[in-house]
Homo-oligomer: A and B are copies of this chain.
Amino acid sequence: MLSGIPHDCLIILVSNSARQPVDRYEIEVQTLEQFCRLADRPAVAVHQRDPGLASAVKAAGLPELIDDEGLVRTGKGEAMLIGMAMAALTGRKYVGYVDADNYVPGAVNEYCKAYAAGLHLAESPYSMVRISWHSKPKLRDGRLFFSRRGRSSEITNMFLNRLVAEHSGFGTEVIATGNAGEHALSLDLGLRMRLAGGFAVEPFEYVELFEQFGGLLPEAAALPDDVKAVPVLQIETRNPHFHDNKGEDHVKGMRMQALNVVYHSPVSLPAVREAILELMVAEGALAPGQEPPRERIYPPVGSMSFDTFLDTLNAESTGFHQIECSLGVSTVT
């Protein structure tokens, strides 16, 4: 996986692996260190549940991220938020996400190239690239079947497209990447976006873009003068997306979290809300008459004080690792 990330990109590993009974995170960091020594490149690693990280997040002004145990909440969106903070901390202009369960380094490499190409083509300081993978191989009858659709994406995309269609009056299939785990964005954009927790994070990015940059809500913050719109490039890659199969419950959870954020958005429309309720009741995820739960929505990462964040991290964290390369380029300054 690591070897697929182009050499000039900084590797940021945010892990929530178990530390008991065996410290899997420690093994990951050792593997990362070995890889970086051989490849002569830097990396940053942090454990999502490290107490020092929680202190730093709190001190930097994002207490919403902390749970009752005093640690950063578990969840994919939360990990991505930490990753974005790390990217900002190290002075990066862009951040690109890659799920760590990918089996094929060549696919990771292609994702990163698509990120770079798309962010370049976007020609805007506020831009996002989302990967639509070519196919997802599944084991079926003892052989590989290359499915073009994901089990969760289909539903998420349908409702996001329905939302766009209700506003425009034209049916559309324009959104193909509602659940795209693989996506990249400029930090200029990322730092001003609110992120959702858990698996709501990716579909909420669309909702947030509609709310903040869609011109639908009068109270939305004005864009800087030089930016007229936020280009979102959806790029279909050539590699099949081979990854760990997490089972049906995982998929159902993802699907519902995506629909929760679409339902509760102020840009949502009654027809969309009703369709979501119908599906949820039909799937047994909601009792008739109930409202879908709200997902956690965090303030923008840009609201954090990065100086305080880094100081506290260096002072208190034991689960934060900076790996420097032999050229002596420090990754965190």
Instruction: Identify the A interface with B (CB < 8 A).
Output: 3-4, 103-107, 109-110, 137, 139, 142-144, 146, 238-240, 242, 245
Could you give 20 example pairs across A and B, Cβ below 8 Å?
A4-B106, A103-B137, A103-B146, A103-B240, A104-B104, A104-B107, A104-B239, A104-B240, A105-B106, A105-B110, A106-B106, A106-B107, A106-B109, A106-B239, A109-B109, A109-B110, A137-B242, A139-B142, A139-B144, A242-B242
Residue of B139, B143, B238 touching A105 (CB-CB under 8 A): B238
| Chain B min CB distance to A169 (Å) | 33
Query: What residues of chain B lie closer than 8 Å to A143, measured between beta carbons?
Result: 139, 245
| Of the residues B104, B137, B139, B245, contact of A106 by C-beta under 8 Å | B104
Known: A103-B144, A144-B242. 19 other contacts (CB 8 A): A4-B106, A4-B238, A103-B137, A104-B104, A104-B106, A105-B106, A105-B110, A105-B238, A105-B239, A106-B106, A106-B107, A106-B109, A106-B238, A106-B239, A109-B109, A139-B139, A139-B142, A143-B245, A240-B242
The secondary-structure label for the interface of chain A is mixed
Chain B residues with CB under 8 A of A109: 106, 109-110
CB of A265 to closest CB in B, whole Å: 36
Least CB distance, A110 to chain B, in whole angstroms: 5
Q: How far is the CA of A240 from the CA of B103 in the complex (A)?
A: 8
**Minimum C-beta distance from A276 to chain B (A):** 34
- Could you tell me if B142 and A238 are in contact, using CB atoms closer than 8 angstroms? no
Closest-by-CB residue of B relative to A3 is B238
* Chain B residues positioned under 8 Å from A107 (CB to CB): 104, 106
| CB-defined contacts of A144 to chain B, threshold 8 Å | 103, 139, 242
Distance, CA A187 to CA B245, complexed state (A): 44
For the complex, what is the distance from the CA of A238 to the CA of B4, rounded to whole Å? 8
| Residues in chain B near residue A238, CB distance under 8 A | 3-4, 105-106
Cα(A151)–Cα(B105), bound, Å: 24
Closest Cβ neighbor of A103 among chain B residues: B240
- A-B residue pairs, 9 tightest by C-beta: A106-B106, A3-B238, A105-B238, A106-B239, A106-B107, A106-B110, A105-B239, A104-B239, A104-B104
CB distance from A144 to the nearest CB of B (A): 7
CA gap between A104 and B146 in the complex, in Å: 11
- How far does the Cβ of A137 sit from chain B's closest Cβ, in whole Å? 8
Closest to A108 in B: B106
**Closest residue of B by beta carbon distance from A2:** B238
Cα–Cα distance between A162 and B240 once the two chains are bound (Å): 39
With a CB–CB cut-off of 8 A, which chain B residues contact A106? 4, 104-107, 109-110, 238-239
A192 to B128, CA, bound (A): 53
Give Cα A240 to B108, complex, Å: 13
Question: Which residue on B lies nearest to A106, using beta carbons?
Answer: B106
Bound form: Cα–Cα A265–B139 in Å? 43
- The CA of A327 and the CA of B201, in the complex, are separated in Å by 45
| Closest-CB distance, A72 to chain B (whole angstroms) | 31
